[in-house]
Amino acid sequence: MMTFLPKTPCARYGVAVLVLNLTVGASVSAGAQSQATAIKADQNGVVQFTTPSNNIECIYVPAGGSPVYKPPGNMAELSCDRATPNYVRVQMSARGAVQQIPNPGDQPCCSVGPVLNYGETWRVAPFSCTSEKTGLTCRRDDGHGFSVSRAGIKRY
């Protein structure tokens, strides 16, 4: 069963997202230098961020969900929207296949939320996302994930 979420975090989860973008350390990813970044969750554990191009926006929902949204199986879920060249959503749970949802039926992204700057990596187990000028790559601890860019979407 696919879950279609409204676009804005307030509409999706019924909460305002308060965030702080803070560099907390460095890590090495695929031979490239990246900064580990902490983006503060709201009171329900929901995290939202966007890329510097404002073309990709992601929302993380923790296991158990929020008061207004429960992910399938109550597992943690990461959902990323790309606005152009065509609106598409890619989402994955803590387990299972990565789903691509063309034209999700709500307003295209992106918010003015915290920015995951190029070279930075956001991480909340089991997910991590790295922002690069070429796009955003998100993975689960088991190696499954996706890459999103203007050029296309890859799921693995």
What CA–CA distances, in Å, run from 154 to 49, 143, 147, 151? Answer: 20, 13, 5, 10
**Range among 70-74, 105-109, 132-136 rated most confident:** 132-136
Strand partners, 57: 50, 81
Token pair of 89 as six digits: 């959503």
Looking at the whole model, is its pTM more than 0.85? Answer: no
Rounded to the nearest 5 degrees, what angle is found at the Cα of 59, between the Cα atoms of 21 and 40? 30
DSSP 51: -
Token digits for 59?
A: 């929302």
Residue pLDDT, tens place only, 23-64? 223 333 333 455 677 798 999 999 999 999 999 999 999 999
Phi first, then psi, for residue 13 (nearest 5°) are -125, -5
Chain segment 120-144, per-residue pLDDT in tens: 999 999 999 999 999 999 999 999 9
**Does residue 7 have a pLDDT over 60?**
no
Which residues, other chains included, contact 152 with Cβ-Cβ below 8 Å and sequence gap of 6+? none
